Structure formats: C-alpha cells, structure tokens
Structure 1
Amino acid sequence: MATTSAPLKRMKCTVCGYSYDPANGDARGGIEPGVAFTALSDDWACPICNASKIRFIEN
C-alpha cells in the first residue's frame, strides 16, 4: 500500500482502545508507516479486536 497525501490523523478503536498511528503503520496488517487511516482498504480491521474501520474515531 502506498503512502498518501491524506491527513495523517491518529484514529482510536472504540471497541478496544487500539490507536492507529499513521507514523507507525500496522506491522501485523502489512501497512507501512506513512499510510493515512483514510487510505486503508475498507476491509482493514483493528489488529487487536478485529473491529471494522467504522468503529474508529479521531484520537
């Protein structure tokens, strides 16, 4: 997945509290650092509790 020019905002899972930080990416999901939350595929899920993207709020 390529990096994007979208804003790099942290997003928090409302189910388990996991915080997606674009500066770190998601190593478990194969997401490299620099990928904005909005650029993640629609089927990406929280690496901790498997919640969908719609369960995340701006952190």
Structure 2
Amino acid sequence: SVCGYVYDPEKGSPDDGIAPGTAFEDLPADYVCPVCGVGKEDFEPEA
C-alpha cells in the first residue's frame, strides 16, 4: 500500500473481518488499508 503496510494472507486482518488464510485477490472489493485507508486497487505487489 501507499504507507508501506503489507497484507499477510497467513494472518488475514481479523480486526477488519478478514480471516487468516484469505488470499489478497479474495479480499472484498471495498477492502481498505487498516493503516492509511487506501483502497485495495492502490496496493502494489511486494518486490
């Protein structure tokens, strides 16, 4: 994401209702970064 947050599919994002084991591509379209609030479309693949 813009702020440097890295989504970890093994951990998910339980505070946002995303279960561990949820792949990034399976996140809902309205998923936003829990740190800075940018949308899923603004995330970039890790290098």
Code of the aligned partner of 2:30:
D
Q: Percent identity?
A: 46
- Structure number with the higher strand fraction is 1
User: Is the helix fraction higher in 1 or 2?
Assistant: 2
RMSD over aligned CA atoms reads 0.7
Structure with higher Rg: it is: 1
Moved segments of 4+, more than 4 Å: none
Count of residues in correspondence between the two structures? 46
Name the TM-score, length of structure 2 as normaliser: 0.89
* Residue 11 of structure 2 is aligned to residue 21 of structure 1: no
DSSP-derived class of the 2:44 partner? strand
| Unaligned segments of structure 1, at least 5 residues | 1-12
TM-score w.r.t. length of structure 1: 0.73
Read off the aligned partner of 1:41 and give its amino acid letter: P
